[in-house]
Amino acid sequence: MLEVRNLSMRFGGLLAVDQVSLDVNEHEIVSIIGPNGAGKTTVFNCISGFYCPTGGKIRFQGEEVQGKPDFKISRLGMVRTFQHVRLFSKMTVVENLLVAQHRHLNTNLFAGLLKTPSYRQQEQKALDRAAYWLDRVGLLELANREAGNLAYGQQRRLEIARCMVTEPQLLMLDEPAAGLNPAETRDLNHLIVSLKEDYNVSVLLIEHDMSLVMEISDRINVINQGRPLACGTPEEVRQNDDVIKAYLGEA
């Protein structure tokens, strides 16, 4: 589904990402791990179109997408979350989900002004879809609350629900477990796996929490200082010497 080849990103004199390659196939959960500052979020930003990579190719469903702007990439079926939760805090939970469905709604001004049947139908469908996903992530009772007033863990789940409501093919999660306690992390595990199983969504995630990564990933990519270090199943990576050295330093 997603093919990244020799991705590079240079900021002036700094080469933040150097020849990184990775793959995500259908029905897979792939993780990217690495020490802090390794360039993981930069890779995400390149793939999702927020940065224009200075080198390399990115192919999604066979189509070349490197350099395409962020909103176009999102419309192709790749959505992402952010390291620091980015919600529309003054809007309610359900409104956040409505905004995400903007593309599927009737945006004709006159239809809206006159409240035509087709307009009302689409709005209702959007609300139903929003309700479904809120229920799925356990936020249904909070539907009318301001998003900014949610607890941190709830905000994280809202962000994921917001992504899912766009019916993506690839979900990119940037440190979804950051700041969550072990119970919440376990729930997150279940949620991500069920997204893969029940909704046929592939997941690419960046994470520091090893338990999460080891438990749910089909494959893991390790990046250090912008360069790829290792790639393989959780077992392989766990036993890879280079990886151990990178995380723990030279003995």
Partner 1 sequence: MQDLLYFLQQLINGLTIGSAYALIAIGYTMVYGIIGMINFAHGEIYMIGAYTALITITGLASLGVAWLPLILIVALICAVLVSSSMGWAVERVAYRPVRGRHRLIPLISAIGMSIFLQNYVHLAQGSRNIGFPALIQGGFQFGDPDSFQTSISYMQITIFITTLICMTALSLFISRSRIGRACRAVSQDLGMANLLGIDTNRIISATFIIGASLAAVAGLLLGMYYGSVDPLFGFIAGLKAFTAAVLGGIGSIPGAMLGGLILGVSESMTSGYLSGEYKDVVSFGLLILILLFKPTGLLGKPEVEKI
Partner 2 sequence: MAAQNFKHALFCAIVTLVISYPILGLNLVAQGTQVVLEGADTATLISIVLAAVAVFLFQLFRDHIMGSVGKMPNLNPFANREPMEQSKRQRLDTIVLTLLVIGALIWPFLVSRGSVDLATLVLIYVMLALGLNVVVGLAGLLDLGYVAFYAVGAYTFALLYQYFNISFWLALPIGACLAATFGFLLGFPVLRLRGDYLAIVTLGFGEIIRILLNNMTWLTGGPNGIGGIPDPTLFGMEFGRRVKEEGNTLFHEVFNISYSGNHKIIVLYLITLVLALFTALVIRRFTKMPVGRSWEALREDEIAARSLGLNRTSVKLSAFTIGAFFAGFAGTVFASKQGFISPESFVFLESAIILAIVVLGGMGSQIGVILAAVAVIILPELAREFSEYRMLLFGLAMVLMMIWRPQGLMPMRRIHIELKKQE
Interface residue list for partner 2 (CB under 8 A): 48, 50, 69-71, 74-75, 79-80, 82, 86-92, 94-95, 98-100, 102-103, 105-107, 109, 112-113, 127, 130-131, 134, 143-144, 162-163, 166
Q: 45 contacts which partner out of partner 1, partner 2, none, CB within 5 to 8 A by kind?
A: partner 1
Q: How far is the CB of 85 from partner 1 (least distance, A)?
A: 13
What mask, x for binding partner 1 by CB under 8 A, covers residues 10 to 49?
-x-----------------------------x---x----
Q: How far is the CB of 151 from partner 2 (least distance, A)?
A: 19
What mask, x for binding partner 1 by CB under 8 A, covers residues 72 to 91?
----------x---------
Q: 240 contacts which partner out of partner 1, partner 2, none, CB within 5 to 8 A by kind?
A: none
Which residue, 44 or 119, is less far from partner 1 as judged by CB? 44
Q: How far is the CB of 45 from partner 1 (least distance, A)?
A: 5
Q: Are 109 and 131 contacting, i.e. CB atoms less than 8 angstroms apart?
A: no
Q: How far is the CB of 114 from partner 2 (least distance, A)?
A: 10
Residue numbers of the site for partner 1 (CB under 8 A)? 11, 41, 45, 50-51, 82
